[in-house]
Chains A and B, each alone.
Chain A
Amino acid sequence: DTEVTQTPKHLVMGMTNKKSLKCEQHMGHRAMYWYKQKAKKPPELMFVYSYEKLSINESVPSRFSPECPNSSLLNLHLHALQPEDSALYLCASSQDGPNSGNTIYFGEGSWLTVV
């Protein structure tokens, strides 16, 4: 059972909508991640927060805006998305950053469809 909880599980939004994906973990982890996964492809890193500060932004378009309100929560704000942004968005967390060898725990993901 995953201890990284993501909501909503499914989201359909129009290109002019503003929506948010939410992620929560209660494992005391200090690093949190957003990944994007297209069908039949590996996950691609979008953002890394370490100790509530953005440490990695993989050149993600500004229509995706991450937010880390506290050490347990991670949001991904979505605005003016394109149909090609439709994908599975995975949140993850680890005790520390990926360079430490700590296990990265993934949530079940949020399926996003942009129409």
Chain B
Amino acid sequence: AQSVTQLDSQVPVFEEAPVELRCNYSSSVSVYLFWYVQYPNQGLQLLLKYLSGSTLVKGINGFEAEFNKSQTSFHLRKPSVHISDTAEYFCAVSMPGTASKLTFGTGTRLQVTL
């Protein structure tokens, strides 16, 4: 079975600074990888996903992530954050070709301050 580890439960950052949210996965087979954002009192919104092909994936709101198979990582980055990026970010994984589920990491709280 696959699993996802988000190493940082909270990441404080100043506005306009760059940020990286870390995600590592464990799977013996190929996987699909996703980043979702959850703003306070809302549902989840997809930021970006990696299915295959180019390892650098660009998403909405200026976010991007890089798939690194050798390090089994899928870290999320943004070069300059805004106050409005304050939210909970979840990394998730699913396995292609099986009836498996979307498995979420424990989440990282991004707190952007002035």
Contact = CB atoms under 8 A, between A and B. Distances in A.
A101 B99 contact: no
B99 A97 contact: yes
Contact of B94 (A2, A4, A98, A106): A98
Contacts, number: 57
Nearest to B50: A101
A16 interface: no
A55 B101 CA distance: 11
A56 B104 contact: no
Interface residues of A, number: 25
A59 interface: no
Contact of B106 (A42, A45, A99): A42
Nearest to B100: A99
Interface string A40-82: 1111010010000001101000000000000000000000000
Contacts of A106: 36, 43-45
B12 interface: no
Contacts of B96: 99-101
A104 interface: yes
B43 A101 contact: no
Contacts of B105: 42
A103 interface: yes
Interface string B25-40: 0000000101010000
Nearest to B31: A101
A55 B99 contact: yes
13 contacts: A4-B43, A42-B105, A43-B104, A45-B101, A45-B102, A48-B101, A90-B44, A98-B94, A99-B97, A105-B46, A106-B36, A106-B44, A109-B43
